[in-house]
Structure 1
Amino acid sequence: MPAVPSPGPLHDGPVRTTATERAARVRFRRALSLMVMTLVVPGSAQLTAGNRRVGLIAVRIWLGVLAVGLVTLLALLVHPGLAFTMAFSPALLLLVRLLLIAAAIGWALLFMDAWRIGQPLSLGLAHRRAVVGVNGILCFSVMGTLLFGAHLAGVHRDLIFALSGDGTASGATDGRYNVLLMGGDSGAGRWGLRPDSMTVASIDAETGRTVLIGLPRNMANFPFERGSIMHEQFPEGFDCDGCYLNGVSTWAEDNTELFPGSKHPGADATVMAVEGITGLEVNYWAMVNLQGFKDLVDAVGGVTLTVRSPIPVGGLGDDVTGYIDPGTRKLDGFETLWYARAREGSDDYSRMARQKCVMAAMLEQISPQSAVRNFESIASASADMISTSLPVSEFDTFMSLALKARSQKVSTLSLVPPLVNTADPDIRKVQAKVTEALDRAEGNAPPRSGSAAPKKPAGEAPVTGGSIGSLSEGYAANQAEDLGAAC
């Protein structure tokens, strides 16, 4: 009987090749799975196929982070204001930064270990390259994201220290915070010497309802707050030759020996003047560097304003280099700055009205979302923009009030003609008008009668220097129940 050939050689080759390929695919999928597991639950790869002790530590840390995040989220849902307290805590920001850096390093090490556990040398060349590529993408993506978060936490912390002042925290007076906002030129040697504009923002401590009280820089013959250093020097008021409100800061800076221990005698003296004029207790002051303001507007992508008539750019007379054309559109930082500052063809009081419109637009249009999107640019601009007496402990309070104010009407009262004679102001009348404006904002006074603002609709009212109204009748944005509507 003839021998029957063995079937082995006919089948052994193909079977061995298929098994090898299947094993290679299994090893490849296992290597990828270990990396995905590390992405979803750091330490799970080690817990499954590596050093279980390392895996347990990593998984416990990950679960602890999730638990802390969940508890924090629930706390924020119950107490939304806690977000501002956390966001403006330098100690917490430092802790977050350090934890993010540690997490970035630890997670990267776990990815590298997951790659090792996947036994890359046992893979084919194509699979090995794919595993290296996937691991690299996941590792650097996660690490880069965490390190960028740490960078932002550091930038935010540095910004808080750059913006914070050395003032003492003070509570609301009669339910309101009063903050003096001053605008100053940023030229060499001029920081804070002669404020270009002065406005008291009186903010309801509960609702955020804000009244902007504008003070003209050319006000003269005004008193200082009784008992203050400036009142001792000028008991009859600031009645010297050529002495105006914007010169108080310069006078104080020239007589710093009268303000022992003060780092900002010019601002402190100006506060004494504003308190004497308005009868309000000023809690804090902030000096806005106009160059920094321009950069801030650019950082948020511009501000939409209604230009009523051509606004000159560049200065007075022959210094004018161009115009901002009429229309409602988004202006960049340079254009917004000149919209607020232009004096050619207008007067100080129409300019004050335009400045109020810029304040209203910034308050309404800079949302938390745009602030987050442009955070680093805003931080860079803001650090050069503001000098203030507001201590870091009060940042969360005022950020919360700012968000509330966005949904409220903003009222204005400007102490300018025809309401007030700036050369010889009737201080009793001024303080009565201030009290009336605040009462009206709180709903405790009847609507304004005999207002200096134009009575005609915006489309029919005269426009002077880019502002609705005239010097003789008053400007709408200077005396408004709803500043947004007046602009």
Structure 2
Amino acid sequence: MARKPRGRKIRRVVCWTLAGIIVVGGGLGFVAYQHLNGNLSSVDIDAALGKDRPADTDNGSQDILVLGSDSRSGDNKGLAGGDTGGTARSDTAMVVHLPAGRAKATAVSIPRDTLVTRPQCTTDSGKKLPEAQRVMFNSVYTSGGPACVVKTVESMTGIRMDHYVEIDFAGFKDLVDALGGVTITTDKPINDKDSGLHLDAGTHKLNGTESLAFVRTRHGIGDGSDLGRIGLQQKFMLAALSEIKQQGTLSNPAKLYKIANAATKALTTDSGLGSLTDLADFARSLNKLDPSTMQTLMLPVEYDKKDPNRVVAAQPQATELWNALRADQPVPAAARKSPARGGSS
């Protein structure tokens, strides 16, 4: 599966897609449009997966798989964690469900240490991978690439992913800096020598480097697992969405272009969002979305009985969660509880 030439890849939800709202509407002109459009990279997920996919519910809702890969090669090699030799894993994964009307959204984080069954799939290079059981979710990206991750998520959830969005470490950092930072409030101090983040309890305006450390922190919070990090990632996502909404970027063409340039360099999408016009049209469809009403959940998980350092989907909660989203219904309270966290996720 061929990719278009691109800036690079990883991270996070509608906030970066929403930055696409700004891309077309500001009268940036043909040359600027061509430049920004050339920044975008896309992957033809539909061609790679063929027809062996869940049926489209056709109820007006949409589901987007948002990935953040943790490659630390190239532009990313100077970031915390060192060079990974060109490999990457899906360090962050969210299924974002947008009901018909797009006034609300539900984002479900999948812990990267979740043991899953990877279905048979085709890699970027066209190699066929056999089905594999009990593999870590974040390893699927390494072994198979975006299409294999989409197929794995569709197999887990029974939900067809309408779109795929990915952003990389360097792109994430540059986008936050283009925004002028993101304001975060923490209830407790955070000290994580691995991510390099040291914050007192209170409100902070984080720059790109600090924001990247924030969404990668896990050792300085909770039990030090990926489950605590997910809470920080979801908090940051909502804060970034609010920042974009509050800034009134459309009234400032210079800032508009700066943000759009950073966003389009950072993103890899499916081919359905692979042009500036498509991305902007999708983002405009979210203009009713209020970050304060966005529901953030974690896939209900429990610690694996064979390997307590890993988690597995908790049943019947996980099935109830995916069934609710597939039917475009509210997630029941029981499906919002994760045994591995001892309560609501």
The alignment's TM-score, normalised by the length of structure 2, stands at 0.71
Deviation at 1:344, TM superposition (A): 1.8
Deviation at 1:377, TM superposition (A): 2.2
8 Å Cα contact 1:303-1:361 kept in structure 2: yes
Residues 1:185 and 2:70 aligned together: yes
Query: CA separation of 1:427/1:325 partners in 2, compared to 1, >3 Å: closer, same or farther?
Result: same
Name which structure has the greater RCO, CA cutoff 8 Å, separation 6+: 2
Partner of 1:380: 261
Partner of 1:251: 143
Partner of 1:206: 101
Residues 1:430 and 2:318 aligned together: yes
**Aligned counterparts, 1:33-182, within 5 A:** 88=24, 150=29, 153-163=30-40, 165-167=42-44, 173-182=58-67
Query: CA separation of 1:420/1:353 partners in 2, compared to 1, >3 Å: closer, same or farther?
Result: farther
Between the aligned partners of 1:204 and 1:472, the Cα distance in structure 2 is: 27
Gaps of 5+ in 1: 1-83, 97-148, 253-265, 454-469, 480-487
Partner of 2:9: none
- In terms of fraction of residues, the more strand-rich structure is 2
Tell which deviates more after alignment, 286-295 or 202-211: 202-211
- In terms of fraction of residues, the more helix-rich structure is 1
8 Å Cα contact 1:222-1:424 kept in structure 2: no
Query: CA separation of 1:446/1:180 partners in 2, compared to 1, >3 Å: closer, same or farther?
Result: closer
In structure 1, which of residues 448, 455, 458 is the aligned counterpart of residue 333 of structure 2?
448
Deviation at 1:323, TM superposition (A): 0.8
Deviation at 1:361, TM superposition (A): 1.3
Identity %: 24
Between the aligned partners of 2:331 and 2:96, the Cα distance in structure 1 is: 21
State which structure, 1 or 2, has the greater radius of gyration over its C-alpha atoms. 1
Partner of 2:11: none
Between the aligned partners of 1:404 and 1:210, the Cα distance in structure 2 is: 10
Partner of 2:79: none
Deviation at 1:169, TM superposition (A): 8.6
**Aligned counterparts, 1:297-312, within 5 A:** 297-312=176-191
Query: CA separation of 1:308/1:418 partners in 2, compared to 1, >3 Å: closer, same or farther?
Result: farther
Partner of 1:220: 115
Partner of 2:234: 356
Between the aligned partners of 1:192 and 1:88, the Cα distance in structure 2 is: 34
- The SS at the match of 1:282 is coil
Between the aligned partners of 2:87 and 2:64, the Cα distance in structure 1 is: 16
Deviation at 1:183, TM superposition (A): 1.0
- The SS at the match of 1:328 is strand
Query: CA separation of 1:154/1:324 partners in 2, compared to 1, >3 Å: closer, same or farther?
Result: farther
Q: Which amino acid is the alignment partner of residue 433 of structure 1? A: L
Q: Which amino acid is the alignment partner of residue 402 of structure 1? A: L
Between the aligned partners of 2:31 and 2:46, the Cα distance in structure 1 is: 25
Q: Which amino acid is the alignment partner of residue 391 of structure 1? A: G
Tell which deviates more after alignment, 363-372 or 292-301: 363-372
Between the aligned partners of 1:187 and 1:273, the Cα distance in structure 2 is: 24
Query: CA separation of 1:438/1:325 partners in 2, compared to 1, >3 Å: closer, same or farther?
Result: farther
In structure 2, which of residues 260, 265, 274 is the aligned counterpart of residue 391 of structure 1?
274
Deviation at 1:200, TM superposition (A): 1.0
Gaps of 5+ in 2: 1-19, 48-55, 75-83
Query: CA separation of 1:329/1:173 partners in 2, compared to 1, >3 Å: closer, same or farther?
Result: farther
Partner of 1:473: 342
8 Å Cα contact 1:165-1:391 kept in structure 2: yes
Superposition RMSD in Å = 3.6
Between the aligned partners of 2:42 and 2:250, the Cα distance in structure 1 is: 22
Between the aligned partners of 1:371 and 1:352, the Cα distance in structure 2 is: 31
Between the aligned partners of 2:21 and 2:183, the Cα distance in structure 1 is: 31
Q: Which amino acid is the alignment partner of residue 35 of structure 2? A: D
Between the aligned partners of 1:219 and 1:405, the Cα distance in structure 2 is: 30
Residues 377-406 of structure 1 show CA distances to partners (whole Å, capped at 9, x for unaligned) of 213322331111123253233212332213
Deviation at 1:427, TM superposition (A): 6.8
Between the aligned partners of 2:330 and 2:304, the Cα distance in structure 1 is: 21
Residues 1:335 and 2:202 aligned together: no
